[in-house]
Structure 1
Amino acid sequence: SLKETLDKLQASRAELSCVGVRISHLSSQNEFLKTVGQRSGIPAGTCEFDVPVYHHWLHLPAEERKHYLNEWIKPLLPYSNAIDLILNLLRGTAELNDVEAVKGSYQKDLQGKTFTLLQVFVDPKLNMIPKISANRYLLSVRFSGANFGNGPIAEIPEVMPFRLGLCNM
């Protein structure tokens, strides 16, 4: 209901105002996370001899690592909750349509309308991967067959049904 949604928005706003720290500052407050973050951008930068504390952490019991992860994530939960709420609201505005890609290609004239989020639902049995490009005038979805190893790439059907959702508030 509208009241529940407004209450959730208000609660999320209150949670965010109480966080007291920006996301960018969270890793700078923890020397371990700061070190791993800096070194992970370097090829082979997290090798055992470069960051021994990271490898020590990796060999801790799973429960202990999980405890640390939960502690590190805790300050991010208000952000996560707010993002989930916004995405759920946005997804709820979807104009869902059953459409077909011919020879793996689908185009839609957007007539200058803008959309915030696009949803593509493909039957997983088809083993197809959508590649999406769009601007304010044209939406293009091209499908290619998935390949996860040595097997053959799935053949693109002549006509392939899928569901398209365009979301905007």
Structure 2
Amino acid sequence: MVHFEHPLNERIRKFLRLEFVLTQARHPLHGRTAWDARATLGHLLEILDTLGRSDIKSELIAELDRQSQHLERLRQRDGVDQSQLSEVITRLRQLVDRLHALPGQPGYALRHHELLTTFRQRAAIPGGAAPFDLPALHCWLNQPHEKRQLQLEHWLGEFDLLAECVETHNRLIRETARRSQEVAHQGCFEQTLDPERPYQMLRISLPSDSGLFPEISAGRHRLTLRFMHQPDLSQRVVLYRENVPFRLACCGMMS
């Protein structure tokens, strides 16, 4: 199945983007060429740009605290696995404690790193990070793989706690979902959402070989889906005018 996720507020939008760039940065890290190292550096800069000027540490502390308080209320419900619940709550509290102990914002030191700053300035110019533009970077990229690898792992390690917190937060959102099997008649689907339930994200799942993807419009009260396809990638996408079975998950912590 292919899962298409749609955030329903700016906070979860930010956390989904962070999850994406943090995961993406780890992929070329396993490569052994200078091109892999260059790609990792590019993704590292993308992480820093995604963080921007926001106080991500305070935002995560508030969100993880909120999730912990919600789970505490579940202790009063019958049929809840108390052992597993306690384990999750303990993990959330440990993450919050580690965030409080973290000096400054994640990646703060890298914002003032000379090599990374120079690379960022030149990378904003198309083709501006060529070897003759950045001889210092070219020299570093041609160091032995093992030496490059240690440095890259050290730089990315600045975001290990951030990645752990974001992954934990997003996973709990995904797991707290109302799931249903639906059909979009002639490619279109509408559903009224319960405004009393603070859904944070929608998750639409389709078979990977369907060749379809959803255009999603959603607010506090209503969800609208139009299933599209693009038989020829050089042409515009069009509405798929057949019935489309799909799985819908409305994700978010209950109040």
Using the TM superposition, give the Cα deviation of residue 139 of structure 1 relative to its aligned residue in structure 2, in angstroms: 1.4
TM-score (norm: length of structure 1) = 0.82
Secondary structure of the 2:108 match is helix
Q: 1:27: which partner in 2?
A: 110
Measured in 2, the distance between the counterparts of 1:43 and 1:12 equals 40
* Count of aligned positions: 168
**Paired residues for 1:6-155 under 5 Å:** 6-23=89-106, 25-113=108-196, 114-146=198-230
Give the SS at the match of 2:220: coil
Aligned letter for 1:39?
A: R
Q: Which amino acid aligns with 1:161?
A: P
Check 1:146–1:60 CA distance in 2 against 1; reply closer, same or farther (3 A cut): farther
The alpha-carbon deviation at position 21 of structure 1 amounts to 2.8
2:25 match? none
Which deviates further from its counterpart, 73-82 or 63-72?
63-72
State the SS of the aligned residue for 1:125.
Answer: coil
- Between the aligned partners of 1:128 and 1:138, the Cα distance in structure 2 is 22
Higher RCO structure, 1 or 2 (CA under 8 Å, sep 6+): 2
Q: Deviation string for 1:32-76 (max 9, x for gaps)?
A: 222222332333332333223334444445444332221111121
8 Å contact from structure 1 (residues 129, 146) kept in 2: no
User: Greater helix share, 1 or 2?
Assistant: 2
Give a deviation string over 1:63-109, Cα, whole Å, max 9, x none: 44332221111121111111111111111111111111223222222
Q: Which runs of 5+ in 2 are unaligned?
A: 1-83
Identity of aligned residues (%): 28
Counterparts of 1:148 and 1:30 in 2: how far apart (Å)?
45
62-71 or 88-97, which moves further after superposition? 62-71
Q: Is the 8 A contact 1:131 1:141 kept in 2?
A: yes
Q: Which residue pairs with 2:4 in the alignment?
A: none
